[in-house]
Structure 1
């Protein structure tokens, strides 16, 4: 498929990945419509000159309106926080996703791309796990509902009329990334950040532009009904990643604590904040996200899509540092 002149709907266009997808899609000659829930962050998307709709993916009327005359839907909107009510996660991540997919199918959309996550493998997966690996919800609402959404979407795949592609993204970093750039740097500034277990294990980072290239390749190759792991393919330790991040932020190397102690500290901090009516900075469950021990395989994306990540960690951090030098990251999470 030639992407030029294709009509693309991006859900969650106000998010870090959605907005960058729009920028890169425009450079490919695509015509963009964006759907976002919050009316507060419209400025950046509007500056791009894209058509913008406000509404929730759980609303059938909004979903149907958003999908009209579109060729492709890139679904990035999701609840991605570390913990919370399973009902809320399921409402957005499962019911909202299915609602948007059915609206797309009814509107004659040919290609529906779901931005999933490698977290569907859980936290204790084998080294080099492939797309055929076992999925595990780990009693975590994000992992669990992402698995559920994948399963239903694959059932909706009905070539040649409606074609589903699932992208399991690694840990997406780059300018604007909340979990892997903004939040850790803000915690480092407050001296509230620590590595878990000396930062052992592997961070499966993927620079945002590499991820989007993988998505576009899957669409171009018409890899319908297929699932792909997309990372940078580098075995970078958590310690190396966060040490590099501290360096570009002009901060000292992070300290380390045992994972069990770090969870306990976070639990106590969050309890103290709750008692005075403040929101927690980071949840104890997040420790599970940063102690994953192994790399995911991207062999399928490399062979099927000819995916070759162009931006390595050094270049990705350089670009992120340039962005940090002109951005007040405190404003991003307000």
Structure 2
């Protein structure tokens, strides 16, 4: 597929992944439309020349309007939290995804890319897990609804009229990232961050530009009906990642505490915040997300897409450091 003069709709364009995808799409000569739920943060995308539509992805009329005149939909919008009511996750991650896909199909969109997650494998998968291996809900609403979205979406694949591609992204980091950059650094600076000392797993990190490169490769090669794990392909321990993140942000080296002790502390912290009618800033379930044991395989993406991550962890963190130096994390985390 030739990208020049094609129109791409990016849902969740106000998130750091969607915004960066818009920048790189424009660089390829594409016209970009964006859909976001809030009207208060659309200035950045508009300044790029993006046509921004405000509305919910599970509203059929909004979805239909957004998909008009579009060649490609990149669906990045999601509810990404460690825990919460299942119905809230299902409303966005499942109903919203299918509403967008059906609207895209009805509007004549040729390509629909769904941004899923390696968390569909759960928290305790095999080493170098591949796209064909079993999925695990883990009684976690995020894991569960990302699986449900894939299951509901893939039957809509019907090329050449409507092609669906699923990208299972690793732990995406880079400028603007909240869970793997801003939030850890925010707590590191308060000396409130710790990693689990009794866990020896790896972070399936993927720099945001590497992820978007893989997405465009999948679109270009029209790999409809396929699912791809996308990470940086490195075997980086959680300890190494968080230690290096502390170093580039000028934060104290993070503490090492047992997994059960951390979860108990966070549970008590969340209860205390609830008592004072404050939203919990980090939940105990986050430790399950941060103690996954193994690296995921990207062999399929390397083979079918010729995917080769261009930005390694050292360079990715250098770019992220520049963003941190000019960002007010205290205000961002409010």
Q: Give yes or no for the alignment of 1:229 onto 2:229.
A: yes
The CA deviation at 1:278 is: 1.1
Per-residue CA distance 1:244-291 (angstroms, 9 max, x = gap): 000011012101111011100100111111111111111000100011
Secondary structure in 1 matching 2:227: strand
Deviation per residue, 1:156-212 (Å, 9 max, x gap):
111110100000000000000000000001111111110112562100100000000
Task: Give yes or no for the alignment of 1:65 onto 2:75.
Answer: no
Distance 1:11 1:44 in 2: 15
> Tell me, what secondary structure is at the counterpart of 2:53?
strand
Please name the residue that 1:267 is paired with: 267
Does 2:135 align with 1:135? yes
Aligned counterparts of 1:101 and 1:273: Cα–Cα separation in 2: 38
The answer to whether residue 231 in structure 2 is matched with residue 256 in structure 1 is: no
Distance 1:7 1:42 in 2: 19
- Find the counterpart in structure 1 of residue 287 from structure 2: 287
Answer yes or no: is the 8 Å Cα contact 2:189–2:252 preserved in 1: no
Q: Deviation of residue 327 (structure 1)?
A: 1.5
Match of 2:42 in 1: 42
Structure 2 CA distance, aligned partners of 1:293 and 1:87? 29
- Stretch deviating more after TM superposition (266-275 or 195-204): 195-204
TM-score with structure 2 setting the length: 0.99
- Could you say which residue in structure 1 is the equivalent of 2:146? 146
User: Distance in 2 between the 1:28 and 1:223 partners?
Assistant: 19
- Note the aligned Cα RMSD (angstroms): 0.8
Taking the TM superposition and a 5 Å limit, the aligned residue runs for 1:51-130 are 51-130=51-130
Count of residues in Structure 1 that have an aligned counterpart in Structure 2: 334
Equivalent position of 2:195 in the other structure: 195
Match of 1:205 in 2: 205
Retained in 1: the 8 A contact 2:199–2:293?
Answer: no
Aligned to 2:314: 314
State the distance in 2 between where 1:130 and 1:305 align: 15
Where structure 2 has 5 or more consecutive residues not aligned to the other structure, the ranges are: none
Task: Please tell me whether the aligned partners of residues 203 and 237 of structure 1 are also in contact (alpha carbons under 8 angstroms).
Answer: yes
- The DSSP-based 3-state class of the residue aligned with 1:219 is helix
TM-score, L = length of structure 1 = 0.99
